[in-house]
């Protein structure tokens, strides 16, 4: 194609673009100004200030000798769309696995919970990423969050019969099922004091329980 033909083709494209542009009432065609911008910003689900109550359940994954699990309730307030502050109370229990029962018979040892039955935590979370996924014909938005905090844990079986410092952290995904209902799946780590009695001598030590946590947040207040 010669330079002249190329210039003619470019001019035809520009002319077609101008003719297809919407005209103002006075017949003139608007052109973008220096301050004009085109933005495509997708608003996050549950954006803005809000409060959510979430019943939760968790099951331990990292201990072959104890089946550990807990249930509780978490209240979370979001002063910003990406920042949440929560208070949580949960009750935990444990029972020896078959491997633990075998070890108890052979070693004449007893494992008892201490500090893991009652847990009170204050936590903060950040929702750093979000997206959407298709489930059949439905598009479900989600966000990825990181939560961490501290508090106190205690049980009547601990050596001091009181509370001790507790720490927790979790990484998970929150699915927005509707404007008011969500579903959370997270991998959580929680500290606990476990009392071990061997030969009649009790010893308290702190360990970390890695658990799979599920919660169902119910949104209260805030604009949809």
- Within a domain: 143: yes
- Within a domain: 69: yes
| SS3 state at 78 | strand
Q: Which pair of tokens denotes residue 99? A: 């491997």
- How many domains are contained in the chain? 1
What pLDDT does residue 115 have? Answer: 41
Summarised one tens digit per residue, pLDDT across range 211-223 is: 999 999 999 876 5
List the CATH number of the domain containing 77: 2.40.160.20
- Within a domain: 21: no
Q: Are 176 and 23 in contact (CB under 8 A)?
A: no
Q: With bands split at pLDDT 50, 70 and 90, how would you rate the model's confidence at 4? A: low
Res 125 pLDDT > 90: yes
Least confident of 104-118, 139-153, 172-186: 104-118
What pLDDT does residue 66 have? Answer: 72
pTM equals: 0.68
- Within a domain: 9: no
For 155, the domain range is 50-220
- Rounded Cα–Cα distance for residues 121 and 4 (Å): 75
Please give the mean pLDDT across all residues of the chain.
75
Higher confidence at residue 8 or residue 188? 188
Q: Where are the beta strands (DSSP E) in the chain?
A: 50-60, 66-80, 83-96, 109-113, 118-135, 138-154, 163-176, 182-198, 201-215, 218-220
- Within a domain: 41: no
What pLDDT does residue 106 have? Answer: 64
- Within a domain: 155: yes
- Within a domain: 93: yes
């Amino acid at each position: 194609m010669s330079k002249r033909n190329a210039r003619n083709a470019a001019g035809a494209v520009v002319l077609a673009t101008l003719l297809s542009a919407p005209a103002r009432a006075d017949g003139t065609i608007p052109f973008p100004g220096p301050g004009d911008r085109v933005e495509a910003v997708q608003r996050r689900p549950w954006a803005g200030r809000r409060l959510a109550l979430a019943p939760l359940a968790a099951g331990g994954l990292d201990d072959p000798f104890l089946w550990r699990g807990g249930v509780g309730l978490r209240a979370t307030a979001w002063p910003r769309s990406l920042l949440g502050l929560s208070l949580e109370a949960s009750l935990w229990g444990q029972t020896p696995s078959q491997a633990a029962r075998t070890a108890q018979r052979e070693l004449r040892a007893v494992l008892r919970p201490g500090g893991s039955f009652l847990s009170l935590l204050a936590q903060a979370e950040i929702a750093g990423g979000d997206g959407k996924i298709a489930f059949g014909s439905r598009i479900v938005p989600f966000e990825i969050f990181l939560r961490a905090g501290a508090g106190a844990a205690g049980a009547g079986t601990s050596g001091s019969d009181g509370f001790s410092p507790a720490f927790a952290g979790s990484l998970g995904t929150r699915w927005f099922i509707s404007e008011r209902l969500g579903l959370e799946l997270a991998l959580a780590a929680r500290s606990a004091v476990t009392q071990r009695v061997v030969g009649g001598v009790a010893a308290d030590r702190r360990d970390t329980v890695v658990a799979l946590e599920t919660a169902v947040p119910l949104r209260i207040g805030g604009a949809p």
